[in-house]
A and B are shown apart, each in its own frame.
Chain A
Amino acid sequence: MSWLHVWKPILINRSSRPILRDDEDFLCTTDNVGLYQGKSKILGRQNGIIYLTNKRIIYFDGTDNANSMAIELSDISHAEFIEQFFRSSPKVKAYLKPTIGQQKNGDSTSNDSKTVKSIAWVCKICSYNNQIPSNFDLEENDLPKCGSCGIRPNRTYIEKILEEGNKNSEKDEPIPGSESMNGTESILQPTAERRDDQCPKCTFINHPSMKYCELCGTELKSVMPKSLQLKITESLSTLSVNENNSHNPMNLKLENSSEVYTNSTKPYVKLSFRKGGENEFFRILNDTLAQMKWDSLKSRGAINQNATKLTQPARKQPTALRLGGIHGLEQLGEQQRKQNEMILSSSLGDLENLMFKSQDLIKLSNSFTKFIIAKRHPRAIPTGTKLVPPLDIKKTSSLYHKELSRHISEYSTNYELTKVSSMITSQDLFANYNRYLILTQGFGSELVSPQDFNQAIDLFDQLRLPIKLKQYEKSGLVVLAPRSKTSTYEQNILICLKEQEYQFKYNKLRNEMLGMMDEFLSNEYRYFKGNTIAEISDKFGWSYNITLEEIEKCIDQGSIVIDQSVSGTFYYINKFALEEEDDRSEMDKIRKEIIEEQKSITADLKSQYELSTAEDLINLNPDYTFGIDKVGEILESDLESFRETPEPTLVNARTRKLLNYDDADYNSLNEVSGGSPSEPQSNSLNDLQGLRFE
């Protein structure tokens, strides 16, 4: 015989929670539960949420809402607990009542509800309409208070009201709604003079769908029009009929295709708790079942007045021991410990849950990595250099700091300390390194703490890594620099400053020679303004602090001098020690360089011009190759003058012709170049002229 019909479909609201019946409420909720019918698993019902209500056990499937179903508590006789055993999860075994196979569903609940009805009484003080249940026991309970003014009514008054109310309800026909469900046609029978939707108290005619009077709040008799009621009941009945007619309303399939019970006269279902929560569930289920039994006994009148329920402990609690001596004391201590343990474990439950989810959280955060990588840090990862593979070692490992040290070293040699002169402060490196970790491994990556970082960089020397640690005495600034460079950075700075000054002189002279000195430029180039810390930092890619320290060292050495004025602090190469420097020869050198540069520009322009003109000539006559004699050509005489000749004057003449030089202009140019080639000034003038023919 199959017992699968105990599982019934449930109604689910839009936010995917079961819809409860009237008077039903949740008692306990547990996740990750699988269902068994007898010994076999129910397929497709292995991962869901179990809601225990005071009427049903609802299984809510985690994957497909349509798989959700419920079992009536009234179908369950009692429950058993099965402990966890090796890999088998703890289970709760619920035995089914053997009778329910034949029982018709649905009629047990509807019978009870009709007896209780609320009766209205009007407060004599404030005339507020109060409600009182019809089975209100005046002997047991205090008199009710008025809901509005809080005054208790007269006892006789209430007794009278109750009596009348009960009489009235007996006189009343059954509620039309239940009648129609029973199939009788009593709705047309004249029950009263007034209309159905008229309030019996205040005679207000309500909207047919109202359940309580809009004005006085009195409960209306069912006032739904017949057609509407029929519709509702129809849809309800089709819903239930469709699923009631089979022995297996949910089309459940079992793992072993047949139901097997250890004892076929005692059918049962099992709930397997994969992730805990079984104890609480079992306790509440037992309580609820016991309460239900008690209530049913009470309603059948099988219980004496004033009888109290004997509470049976669900599981045997270790009762306080009344033993003496050391053993007793030990037992007491043991109990105390157990209690503490329980408090601790229950209070830390949330934390455990969080830890349990942590892996998921990290996975989630890693999924965002691609968004971060898309928006790259401007100075991050120059393309072409290989990525430093992530460090894969646990923080607890004894090797951690050494490995971290190596990793930092690898990172810095690849990205930070790429030049011989590079230096970086430990703070900057710390920040950049952690940023790099996030950039390459996402937010889930474990960042390095300052303590670990400091320990790791202290290991550089010990591990013979290509990076060394340097501490400035004055500020205590810790700096990392490539080891290969042993000497100081003074030379580099001096070279840099020299270059700057040379550049300045070069530009100044160049502007002067090209005649481009206007007011702004002459102001700008009046004197060499030296270099600021920021400029030097920029040049070397150092941080400001490093440059400051290095410059101060240089000042101590005496190679750099300082200029403090209103406009700032500037640094120069020390020239005090030098005698009047050989400025003139340097200027001459610069002048020559500029002349060379201008010459090459002129030459380039000239050759370009010639080339383009030569191409034009070839286009005019494709047979002619420029510069090669071709005897017997018709155009030979025309081309005579264009022929390549070693004579420079002829070349000049040709150029002149090609470029349509103004004759006077050309002559003056010729004169200058013919003057004295050794003198730089005139040479440069020549070149300037050359520039202008563009």
Chain B
Amino acid sequence: MTTEFTFPKIHSFPPLYTKQPNATILSNQLDSWSQIVLQYCEYYKITSMTLHGTPKVSQLDVNLESLPSLFQNKTINRTVNSDLQTSIFNHLIHKLNKAEYINPKKPDLGIYIYWRTIVEWAQLLYDFVDKSGQLGTVLTLYELTKSEDSGVPESLRNLDEALLIKVLKEVLIKQGKAQLLMTEEGEIGGVKIV
């Protein structure tokens, strides 16, 4: 990953960094921001962030601290204040449903960014298992995302484990396509996708 993410032109439009007083414009502004956040996260394959816009987990093997800052534009010397940041994330979570708190009771833990919805994630997972002919086989979580020789597709590689469990629990199990095998310690020992 050598090339940096190029922000859209609107990112250097100074009013973007001020919470607009007009409601219509504000919603446009939040749309713009949401767009930027999603594009940014998709580019760096960031699946979760803190509430201050710093990436938490990425599928890519990059130093997260070296990434260009999302809410800061050094060229025009502007920064998004925390109020507007909160608004942006609220907009993402409640209006667009493109993000979710990792733990709604502890919002400080950060949020998942769904540049790919969990249903889409589930579909990808299912397709991978289906294509590799492992339906009905018990697989470990490691095998699903990290194994070098299991032919895990690029899109699923290094997927955050917490997100993977969330995808399994909230989509596949509900659809009746997966079963979780628990170990004695109460941890997930394996997954069987049918």
Cβ-defined contact, B9 with A563, below 8 A: no
Specify which chain A residues have a CB less than 8 angstroms from the CB of B29 in the assembled complex: 561, 576
Cβ-defined contact, B31 with A576, below 8 A: yes
Cβ-defined contact, A570 with B14, below 8 A: yes
Cβ-defined contact, B32 with A576, below 8 A: yes
Q: Is B13 an interface residue (CB 8 A)?
A: yes
Q: Is B150 an interface residue (CB 8 A)?
A: no
Supposing A561-B15, A576-B10 touch, asked if A555 and B78 sit within 8 A by C-beta, the answer is no
Supposing A527-B75, A580-B9 touch, asked if A562 and B18 sit within 8 A by C-beta, the answer is yes
Specify which chain A residues have a CB less than 8 angstroms from the CB of B14 in the assembled complex: 527, 529-530, 563, 565, 570, 572
Bound-state Cα–Cα, A562 to B28, Å:
13
Supposing A527-B76, A565-B78, A572-B15 touch, asked if A583 and B9 sit within 8 A by C-beta, the answer is yes
8 Å CB contact of A562 from B8, B21, B31? B21
* Most chain B CB atoms below 10 A, which of A527, A556, A557: A527
Residue-by-residue, is B12-46 near A (CB-CB < 8 Å gives 1, otherwise 0)? Answer: 11111110111011001101100000000000000
Cβ-defined contact, B13 with A565, below 8 A: no
Cβ-defined contact, A577 with B17, below 8 A: no
Supposing A555-B22, A576-B29, A580-B8 touch, asked if A565 and B17 sit within 8 A by C-beta, the answer is yes
Task: Tell me how far the C-beta of B62 lies from the nearest C-beta in chain A, rounded to whole angstroms.
Answer: 27
Task: Tell me how far the C-beta of B83 lies from the nearest C-beta in chain A, rounded to whole angstroms.
Answer: 12
Bound-state Cα–Cα, A564 to B32, Å:
18
Q: Is A558 an interface residue (CB 8 A)?
A: yes
Specify which chain B residues have a CB less than 8 angstroms from the CB of A580 in the assembled complex: 8-9
Q: Is A574 an interface residue (CB 8 A)?
A: yes
Q: Is A526 an interface residue (CB 8 A)?
A: yes
Q: Is A207 an interface residue (CB 8 A)?
A: no
Bound-state Cα–Cα, A572 to B75, Å:
18
Specify which chain B residues have a CB less than 8 angstroms from the CB of A529 in the assembled complex: 14
Q: Is B6 an interface residue (CB 8 A)?
A: no
Bound-state Cα–Cα, A572 to B20, Å:
12
Residue-by-residue, is A525-539 near B (CB-CB < 8 Å gives 1, otherwise 0)? Answer: 011011000000000
Q: Is A226 an interface residue (CB 8 A)?
A: no
Specify which chain B residues have a CB less than 8 angstroms from the CB of A561 in the assembled complex: 15, 18, 20, 22, 25, 29
Interface residues of A in 532-563 (CB under 8 A from B): 555-558, 561-563
Specify which chain B residues have a CB less than 8 angstroms from the CB of A564 in the assembled complex: 18
Bound-state Cα–Cα, A562 to B21, Å:
8
* Most chain B CB atoms below 10 A, which of A529, A562, A583: A562
Cβ-defined contact, A556 with B13, below 8 A: no
Cβ-defined contact, A526 with B32, below 8 A: no
Cβ-defined contact, B21 with A526, below 8 A: no
8 Å CB contact of B25 from A527, A558, A563, A565? A558
Bound-state Cα–Cα, A115 to B18, Å:
108
Q: List 24 A-B contacts (CB under 8 A).
A: A526-B76, A530-B14, A555-B20, A555-B22, A556-B22, A557-B22, A558-B24, A561-B18, A561-B22, A561-B25, A561-B29, A562-B18, A562-B20, A562-B21, A565-B18, A572-B13, A572-B15, A575-B13, A576-B16, A576-B29, A576-B32, A577-B25, A580-B8, A581-B9
